Structures are given as structure tokens and as C-alpha cells.
Amino acid sequence: MQALIEQIEHKYQSLGQDPETYLKGLLHTRPLTYWDYIQVDTLLSLQHPRTHFPDEMVFIVYHQVTELLLKLVRHELDQLTSGPLAAAEIFEEKTQRLVRYTRLLSMSFSIMNQGMSREEYNQFRLALAPASGFQSAQFRYIELQCTPLEHLIPPSRRAEARPDMTLREKFQLVYWQDAGYDRATGVKSLTLQQFEDHYLASFVELARRMERDNLYLRYLALAQQGKDTDALRSALRLFDYTFNVSWPLVHLQTAHTYLGSGHEQTAATGGSHWEKYLHPKYQKRIFFPALWSEEERARWGEIEVSA
């Protein structure tokens, strides 16, 4: 106990503070509770349905769960893409965490696909236009932390990305513009316009910070030093596949469930030609291309691969 008190004294003295003030403060603080620490009341006060359909609550809460898990993905990515290059074991351990979070998202998507009444969904969603999950910025932050901006430009359009272009100009070529940018008329959907007004500056800023430090380049640096391992490569492949193929496919399947397909297809709240746009084989979003064979890349989203 004496040693502990001395450590406390040392801690506050080295901060130029009087240790006694802090020790007395301890006498008065209330013991911590679960609800204060986890902020349960605040968390449970954040669901505000816009209609009276009970299933809208399922929709809101599941989106919030997704955003929280994406926050964990970003938490790991922040650590991997800043400071000194992590050792291969740490890199792998953290990539395994990314896999776990992303897998949970992919596996739990049945809460959307099977867990709401189709009739209710198609009523309450009309009250949500023009909002769309497309406007989830965390998905875009994750992409920018994982791979160079050039990899988010569809292969068919990469030749248009000239070296003298600003980052902001390059953003007009990324695959997600296809959700709402009509290149023939130059018109953007309201969903896309609002998204860019709110977030584009932060995307450009992050892309700039990640130019030399994104996860893919950091992995390549490790590999160049001969320090990468089979376990790391396979963890990165699994993360790439789960985030960029498995999740998009269950998400697309869900759009089919609720919005129909073929002639019965219903317009999405974000107004995209979603059936084509959402398919991973069109998006060709691959974070770590060097880890995939030419055939695997060519048939991305069309064949199951053992990641």
C-alpha cells in the first residue's frame, strides 16, 4: 500500500500537482456504475422512428449496430496506419480482429434480410427518402485507410486518373459516384450531393494522410523487408473478401428481398440503379490486389474463393 501511495505521489508531483488534492478527491467520488460507464441511457435514447411501423425500430437499431462495429474496424485501422510500422504478429492479430468484426456484420445481416416485414419496410422506407445507407461515411473512411485511392476507381476508368489531377478531382472517378452521378448529363442525385457536401472534405483529407500510410502500402513495406508471413497474408485476404464480397453480396440479396428484381424492381431511396451498382463484380473493390491471383481478380464477386 505504501509503495502504491508513493507511486501516486510521484505521478502527480511529476505533473506539478499536489498529490493530496487528488487523494482527497478519491474520498468524494461516487463508485462507478455500469450505466454511467457504458452510457446506456444515452445509447437507448438515440432511436427515433419517423413512422409508426414497429419494424422501423429493427431497421434503425441494426444500422446503429453496424456503425458501432465499423467504429471498431476503424479503431484497429487507426493503430495500424499511424506511428511506426507494426511487427508482422501485431499486424496479423489486428487484421484478425478486422475479420471478426466484418464477419459479424456479414453473418448478422439476416436480421435485415429475414427480420422485417416486407410490407412494413416498403411503407416506412418511403418516409426516409432521399437518405440511404450509401451515405454511411465510415464505409468510405475504411476504404481510404485500407488501400490507395486509385484502387477505388473502377479499372475501366483508371486511365482517366492523370497524375496532375488533385485528390478532389480523383474523387469524381471513384466507383461510388456510380450510385448517383449521371456522367452524360453531369447531374448528381440529391443523395450523392448531400453526402459530398457533408463529407467530401474529410475524405480528401484522409486520402491525403493515407497516401503513404494506408494498410496495403504498409503491408507491402513489411513484405519488402521479408517480414510478412502466410498467416498475415491469409488474414488480409479474408478481410478483403469479407468486406468487399461477402458483405456486399448479403446486402445485395437483401435489396432483392425488399425491393424485388427484374420487372418488379422498386426504386431505392437513394435512387441508384442498385441491382448493377451494388454487385461486387461491377464495383471490383479490392483492397490488397497483390494478394490475389489474376484469375481471382478477374472473377471478383463471381466465384467463391478460399480466402
Q: Tell me: does residue 176 bind ligand HEM (CB under 6 A).
A: yes
Pick the closer one to ligand HEM by CB: 91 or 124.
124
181 φ, ψ (degrees, to nearest 5): -110, 115
Rounded to a whole number of angstroms, the minimum distance from the CB of residue 261 to ligand HEM is 12
Rounded Cα distance between 122 and 120, Å, is 5
Q: Tell me: does residue 62 bind ligand HEM (CB under 6 A).
A: yes
The H or E element containing residue 187 is strand 187-188
Rounded to a whole number of angstroms, the minimum distance from the CB of residue 91 to ligand HEM is 26
Rounded to a whole number of angstroms, the minimum distance from the CB of residue 221 to ligand HEM is 28
CB atoms closer than 10 angstroms to residue 80: 22
**Residue with CB nearest ligand HEM?**
270
Rounded Cα distance between 112 and 115, Å, is 5
Q: Tell me: does residue 136 bind ligand HEM (CB under 6 A).
A: yes
Pick the closer one to ligand HEM by CB: 145 or 269.
269
Rounded Cα distance between 55 and 57, Å, is 5
Q: Tell me: does residue 199 bind ligand HEM (CB under 6 A).
A: no
Nearest to 285 by CA among 113, 152, 106, 91: 152
Cα→Cα distances 251→110, 132, 246, 255, 259, Å: 9, 13, 9, 6, 12
Binding mask 269-298 toward ligand HEM (x if CB under 6 A, else -) reads xxxx-x---x----x---------------
Rounded Cα distance between 97 and 85, Å, is 18
Rounded to a whole number of angstroms, the minimum distance from the CB of residue 90 to ligand HEM is 29
Rounded to a whole number of angstroms, the minimum distance from the CB of residue 225 to ligand HEM is 34
Count of residues in contact with ligand HEM, rule CB under 6 A: 25
CA angle 97, 215, 290 (to 5 degrees): 105
Q: What is the 8-class DSSP label of residue 282? A: H
Rounded Cα distance between 170 and 159, Å, is 11
Pick the closer one to ligand HEM by CB: 142 or 291.
142
Footprint on residues 230-259 left by ligand HEM (CB under 6 A): 251, 254-255, 258-259
Q: Tell me: does residue 301 bind ligand HEM (CB under 6 A).
A: no
Q: Tell me: does residue 12 bind ligand HEM (CB under 6 A).
A: no
Contact 231, 152 (CB under 8 A): no
With contacts defined by CB under 6 A, name the span among 48-56, 60-68, 151-159, 294-302 that binds ligand HEM: 60-68
Q: Please report, as a single letter, which amino acid is at residue 17.
A: Q
| Among residues 133, 148, 154, 289, the one that binds ligand HEM under rule CB under 6 A | 133
With contacts defined by CB under 6 A, name the span among 10-18, 31-39, 75-83, 130-138 that binds ligand HEM: 130-138
Q: Tell me: does residue 74 bind ligand HEM (CB under 6 A).
A: no
Burial readout 144-156 (b: 16 or more C-beta within 10 A, e: otherwise): bbbbbbebbbbee
Interface residues with ligand HEM (CB under 6 A)?
Answer: 62-63, 66, 112, 121, 132-134, 136, 139, 176, 179, 251, 254-255, 258-259, 268-272, 274, 278, 283
